[in-house]
Structures are given as C-alpha cells and as structure tokens.
Chains A and B, each alone.
Chain A
Amino acid sequence: MSGLDHVDNYPEIPVSLAATSTVLKTGAWRSVRPVIRIRTAPCSAYCPAGISIPEYFDHLKEEKLDEAHSVFMERNPFPRITGRVCPHLCEQGCNLAVATDEKPLSIRSIERWLGDQTADLPHPYPTEETGKQVAVVGAGPAGMAAAYYLRRSGHKVTVFDRRESAGGILRYGIPEYRLPTAVVENEIEKLEDMGVEFRMRLALGTDLKLEDLEAAYAAVFVATGATGQRSTGIEGESLLEPGLAFLEAANRNLASLPGERCAVIGGGNTAMDVARMLQRMGAKVTVLYRRTLAEMPAIEEEYERALEDGVDFNWLTQPRKVTKLGDKLLVTVEQMRLGTPDESGRRRPEPTGITRELRFDGVFSATGEKADTAPFPDRLRDSHGWLDLDGDGATKDPLVYAGGDLATGPATVIEAVVAGRNAARAIDAELGYADRWPAEPPADTVSPAEVNVTYMPHHDRAEDPPAVTADPFAEETNTLTAADVLGEIDRCLSCGYCNTCGTCFVFCPDGAILWDNGPRIDHEFCKGCGICVNECPGHAMVLVNEREVSHA
C-alpha cells in the first residue's frame, strides 16, 4: 500500500482498503501445479478408430450437434452404420464399468443417435481441390471410408465395385433387420453429393486391371473384401450352403428356405446373422459350434438376440460328415471337449470320438471367408498368398494400398473403416497433404484407478429399445430419444477430457479456478492443494511438479 509512510495517511481504524488478491500472490506457495490435460479415454483407446468419445459427448451435452458430428467424423464417417453394427469394444474399456458395479456407457447407442440426427447433414464439399485422382476398388465400408477421407482432402475419387450397387457387406451381408439398406444408401448418396464418383459392375481382375489403375490414378486403394468360401474340412462339403451367399440372397429377397429344420455351422457374427435370418424366415435353426459359449467369437448381444429369436445352440459339436438322405441332410457330428488354450488364448476343442447323427432340411456354413487375392500380381503377395502390406496398407507398389477384409480376412465394419481411413491418410501423406489431417490422440490413457465416480448419477443404462413391429425383416431396434441420450451422457465420467462439469471449480478452496464457460486455473493464486485433480471425475487434470514447469 502506498502512502502508509505517515500516520496522517492511516485510517482511524484498521478498515480494509483492498482485496487480498491485490497483494497476496498465493501461487508462490505451490510446489505442484494442476494442469488441465487432454488425455485418452479408455473407450477411445479401445475403439479401433480412436473416436474422441468424451469430446463428442460433451458437444452433445451442450446441444452442439454439428460440433459433435464433426469430432466424430474425424475418425469415422459412418455413425449411422457403426452405431448399429459395431461390436462396441469401446464399452468394454469404459472406466465406469471397471471402477464400479455400473454398466458401461451405452456408447454405440449414442453414436447411432448422433448418426440418425445428422443423417441429412451433407458432408462438406472440399474447400480446395488438389487436382489429384484416386481410385478406390471396392465399395464396402473400407472403400467408402477411404473415399470419404480422400475426397475430403480434395482429391477426385472414383470408387469401382463389381456389384450393381455400392455398400458391399453393408448392403449384401448384414441383414436388413440389423442395418436397413436405406441407411447404407443414405451414406452412399452423401458421398456422391460430396463429389465421390461410383462406377458399378466393374470387377478387379476381369473388368479392371491393377496396372491400368496405377497408370491412370495418382493412388489406388483396393478393398474388395473377403467373400471367398474357405474349406470347412467337412466330408460332403458341397452339400453345405455358404452362409454369406445366403445372406446376400436374403438381402436381395431372393432367398428361399430349404425346409423347416436348418443348421448353421460356426460361431461368428456371420453364423448369428444366418441363423437369425433363417429363423425369421420361418425355420427352426440349430447352431453347431465346436467350442462353448465362452469361446464363441460372435458378440454377446447377437448371441442373445439369436436366443430371443428361438435359435438353438449345440456346443462342443463338430460336424464331420454331411450326406444326403432323401430330401434331408444327415449331419454326423462329433462330441468335443475343451483342452489346452490355442494361439488365440481360447481352449482348443479336442475330439472325443463320440459321434451322433442329426437330420436337417438345410445346412449352412459360416466358418469364415477368405480374401481373393488373385487379381494381384505375385510381387504384391507373400508366401501364403496374402497381400504383403505395411501397417497403413501400403503394398510394394508405390501409392497402391489395400485394406479391409481383403487384407485381414473377415473382420468388423469399424476395422474396415479404420483401414480405409489409414490408407487415405497414408496416401495423403505421400501426395503431400499430411497437413490436412489432425494429430493422433495422446497415448496417455486414463486408468480406472484415476477416475472419481462419486459424482456420477446412478440410473439405468439406456439401450436401443426393441422396435414394435410385426415385420421380421424390419429394423429390430429403435434409436434412443434425445432425452435418453442426454441422460446416458450424464453418466459419462469424461475420462481425460474436460467436459466443463465444474467439479474443480466448485471445490477449489481458493477460488483459483476461474469459470468462463469452462475452468481456467489461475496459477497466480492456486496453492497447489490438488483437490481439483483428485475430484475431477475423468481425471482430465494432472499435477505437475513446479520444477518441471520452470525447467520446461
């Protein structure tokens, strides 16, 4: 205080003249400082696409749909699709479920809502054309994703596909009741609207030659999927109907039931789709699987829905032989037992020698498909006949990429999308447009031990409600309501992402967290007690030693 060098300048009594903040810079007391730090949520880390889930949730919470959508689109252009068919690994990682007895956030359902809400939102037309042309072969999820990102970067993109319509597995492999064709068509239209050109009925290897494409385009991305039938090793294999082909026929309304009693061999998601589709067409279906439920690769939810549809499961049942018996098929199955774990970590089924015979009208195989690499020259293949690719899908030829099921064998839609995006980014980097891509999320993932679940409201997890319909082929679930979505987002801890919940602000004993639509730490006064860091539900704050700060 100036002027207090003479008694005449003093007030009569010790009455304050200024606020503490004018002179007491309590930040000097601090040895550690809290810092708001964007980290990776486990849901994002588990998500193959690395979608910044807490971030777009936060935008939804703030009713900023466009922002939420654009955050999402950075990592996955098809929320309407993956919001319906994704195995949602994200939910397995949810810290809430690990740290408490609560169920994980219903992330996929929110994603679906986001997709549906933005169905009519056009993709932005690229602001700056590069003049480069890129070819994409295969109009499935990988090709569509690559097309989206390449077009977004400003390239002229042409997508080729052997079928009459784009969509690949999305249109022809996944049943209508899970993923309506209208949804797929909507995405294709939006791609067309942003300038992607689709050229149909052109198959690689016959109508198109890879060398021609390489010559004509700046870059090529091939994602023709895995539709080739793999040998099941079952005697009388030719009597089996390929599951994927059946699904395609069913999606084209061309399928017919071989009879009332059907069997499906396999335990993957295709097996579930085939079994459920058959059941919905009126059959009585039995799934024959050589291991048990615990080892079954199909996502749990699909298994449960199959059960709801009335599908039977025969576990530890290995078909050995199929013979025709009049208009029936006789399937000889061997009883298996579980032995030691195999390379996938699952217990290996071992033969017991005990066999029995089962009788069906039709038997479908869904034990996995293989990629057809025939259209590729030998120089691009390895000794097993697979494509020889690096992590982003680059082949040995310059600017020729491959991805999706073609590269990995049958996998999920989201993995195909990621492959398409990765290839697009790698192509962009090679073409000199790396700056059009956002940075990758930090590797630092928030662990369940770090979160604070205290402030999470306790209410039931919101899931896609069953649709009330008499049509067995209509979509079987509905999208959540906006209220359900907001309620569900309220349960989100927002791991590693500040969703401006205000907890740090409320609990700061020093008022050193300033609030302007969000927290700002006032380091001039923050004493470094660490309450904010400890209370932050998603641990989007960390304490940093002051010495590190001053040395930095």
Chain B
Amino acid sequence: MNTVSIMICGVGGQGTLLASKLLGRILVDEGYDVKVSELHGMSQRGGSVVTYVRYGDRVFSPVIESGEADFIVSFEKLEAGRWAHCLKRGGLIIANTQQIDPMPVTSGAAVYPADILDVLSAEGVRVDAFDALSPALEAGSAKAVNIVLMGRLARYLGLPADKWYGAIRSTVAPKFVEMNLRAFGLGYNG
C-alpha cells in the first residue's frame, strides 16, 4: 500500500506527543511499517508544535511537507491554517474549533483570524471542524482534547475502536485511563 501521512498539529502543552505515540503504537500492532517524528525542547513552551505519523509497507522519510498529508489533525483553529498547505489535494483536515491566542495576538501586534476554517472550506478544502474541548471537559479534563481528536480520526482511518482502547490502557497513566476512554468514545461516536 501507499504510505499514509498524518500530521498532528497544535500548541505546546496540548498533548500532541501522546496522541502520536498512541497512534503509532496501534499502527505497529496492525503490522505496518511506521515512522513518527516529533520535536522536543524549546518549541514545546507554548509554541506551535507539529508531529508527523506515516505508515505503510515501507516508510522512509519521517517528515511530511507541502501537499503530502492525507490527514491533518489540528488541536487548535489557527494551527489548522498554519499547516493547511501540507494537505494533499483531496485530503481531510480534522480541526478543533478551540482558539488559543498566540503571543503576537495577545500583545496586540497581530489579529487572530477567527474565520480561518471557513476560509479553508471556501477554498474547497475538506474540513471536519468541531468543538473538541466540550467533550474533553465532559470526559473530565481539558487535557483530554488530544484523545477526543484521536477518536474523531479513528472514524476515518478504519482502525477498530477496541485496538484504541487497548492502546490507551497501555499508554496512559492508570489514574487517567477511564477519563481518556470516555474522551475517545465521545470523539469516536460524537
């Protein structure tokens, strides 16, 4: 099969690393060759962060560039706009509608483009936009946004839900397992 490329983007601290770890683990168990690329260090301090997950028969490069992503999962609205050019023609953006102001907006040097997802849709980009924060809060914490979004992605990837539940149990700290299982369910079924 051709390599499938999934880009996961968000704001440092939103849990993109855990999401990509979870996804990677499931894909390995399914027998694919998998590469996951992430960046640590300074970029994590509230900055724009992106991780790449690629799988198929044989994967070489761990990175995803312009026009290469089959899916972009954006944990924040503005970040969907920042990385949209990486989407393959016909690809899908799954976007959390949550708004987190970057420092230039906070300090008044720039304006937050609140209509960014509408702009993308108007350009003919397939966007599945939804509020992932409310189900995360319903599950128990704003921090579960990442798992809600993985639930949403799982619908499109056709990977069985029970595999995800198993991976959550083996990846997440025990006391957060129940919350994350709920969050996944809300994203998957919601």
Determine if chain A interacts with chain B: no
A positions within 8 Å CB-CB of B: none
Q: List the interface of chain B (C-beta within 8 A of A).
A: none
